[in-house]
Amino acid sequence: MSLSQANRKMTRRQMLRSCISGILAAPFFVPARALGRGGHVAPSERILLGGIGLGGRGTAVLRWMLAETDVQFLAICDARKSRREAIKKLVDDHYGNKDCAMYRDIREFLAERTDLDAVLIATGDRWHALASVWAMRAGKDVYCEKPSCLTIAEGQMVMETARRYGRVFQSGTQGLSMSNRVFGIELARSGRLGEVRTAYAQIAPWDDALMRHDWLPAEPEPPKDEVDWDAWLGPCPWRPYNSAYVNGKWRGHYDFHASCIGEWGAHTIIQVQAGIGASHTSAVEYEYVDNPYGDGLIAHYANGVKMILARSKDCWPGYSGQRFDGTQGWIANSGDAHDCDRASSPDLLKDFRKIVADYVTRTQCPMNHARNFFDCVRSRRQPVANAEVMYHSMCTVHAANICMWLKRNLRFNPLQAEFVNDPDANRLRSRAMREPWCA
């Protein structure tokens, strides 16, 4: 080795000293985002979120969730490539990176993404319960769009899974976190309307309760990566592929849909039950009405209140309406405006802000359904539309459907989750799940 080479050679100790000196001499910057400063939440404190089946409705809910600074969305799972790519673009644009991962198979998604704290599920009705159960078994908390089950048995399965695994579950019935809806519920619950004897719940004014049992004509299946038809069907019976199904035309088909009663009744019935003190039970008697829609069907509760299903009613100006009739007045709410709608007297509307504020203080439930979910992910409290509340309201939905399908009055025992002396009705509480898409 030449002298010049020896002079250039540096020992390991000398190199370490040199590096340390350089680090100490240079200014050291840590982004405020990484430290949780300047309104940012530190990475270690963020709720890591994934999505399953996010189309139009799911995208809207995801936008609400992305606004929460302590939430970070990491991965999307969808049987449709176009949906996967659309969500990835939305998320990557939001964060200014290319990090959102994509999955086609829900089983792979749940097995690999052990880092996720929670998932947003917004598939069609057919997948809501099974995806929720699989996700909770995989250790995820779940925000699932409504209707959160397609049968009474599915709802029971979701409720029992949430209990067994200690998971937080929120049904996407956001009316329970909207100030105008909450105001109406609180007037009914607190006795300000007097004794509430009758309530109304709006059902969707399209389709019907009977639904279609035929199939759409078969079309050539697209490549699996474009649309995984087997996965799209999931637990439903095998049906030939038709592009109309995957483009939203599954509604109105018995295999895939909870009917016009489930479409809006999933919102309005859970709200009515909250107002009449029946969040932890279901209606016990159902009076059949002779039309295809269930318009005018009466559901009776054990506390003496009757709820009437209605496609439309003059008292609510918007959509998805609810109404409570008491001995001292009535109030009706609809739409998604954060104010009250109509009441029998202006005096009933005077304390709107105070009543809503008192409700928030008493329940610790904000007027933000997604925020309520994330708060409960942190605290492990039960959210406002938790699995049990969802289950009991959906029992009422599905019992009303079964009443319409059998075209006769029914009696239901909420404690036993079964119809009284009616084997035909009891057989309709569940549907077979197609392997391997089963619980």
Sign of the dihedral defined by the CA atoms of residues 57, 62, 68, 71, in that order: positive
What tens digit of pLDDT does each residue of 346-365 get? 999 999 999 999 999 999 99
Q: Residue 301 and residue 206: Cα distance in Å, rounded?
A: 27
Which residue type is seen at 121? I
Would you mind telling me the total number of residues written for the chain in this entry? 439
Of the listed ranges 14-28, 174-188, 252-266, the least confidently predicted one is 14-28
**pLDDT tens profile 71-87:** 999 999 999 999 999 99
Identify whether 114 is part of a domain.
yes
| Closest alpha carbon to 159 in 286, 306, 279, 47 | 279
Evaluate whether residue 3 is within a structural domain: no
Q: What is the pLDDT of residues 232-247, one digit of tens each?
A: 999 999 999 999 999 9
Q: What is the pTM of this model?
A: 0.90
Alpha helices in 26-138 (DSSP H): 32-35, 56-66, 81-95, 106-112, 128-137
List strand residue ranges (DSSP E) for 271-320, in order: 285-287, 298-300, 306-310
**pLDDT (0 to 100) of residue 335:** 80
pLDDT for res 316:
80
Over residues 18-33, the mean pLDDT reads: 46
* Count of domains forming the chain: 3
| HSE, side-chain direction, 13 A CA sphere, residue 380 | 4
In this structure, the answer to whether residues 162 and 181 fall within a common structural domain is no
Q: How confident is the model at residue 315 (pLDDT cuts 50, 70, 90)?
A: confident
Could you tell me if residue 315 is inside a domain?
yes
Report which of 138, 125, 164 is spatially closest to residue 75, judged by C-alpha positions: 138
Question: Is 101 found in the same domain as 122?
Answer: yes
Say if 182 falls within a structural domain.
yes
Tell me whether residue 22 is in a domain.
no
CATH number at residue 334: 3.30.360
Residue range 31-70, pLDDT digits in tens? 445 445 556 688 889 999 999 999 999 999 999 999 999 9
Q: What tokens appear for 157 in the block?
A: 């399965």
Determine the pLDDT at residue 313.
78
As a whole-number percent, the residues of the chain with pLDDT over 70 amount to: 90
Q: What is the rounded CA–CA span in Å between residue 209 and residue 260?
A: 6
Q: Which residues form the domain of 225? A: 216-253
Cis peptide before 436 (omega within 30 of 0): yes
Residue 409 has pLDDT above 90, yes or no: yes
Residues 265, 397 contacting (CB under 8 angstroms)? yes
One-character DSSP codes across 84-103: HHHHHHHHHHHHTSS--EEE
Structural domain includes residue 439 = no
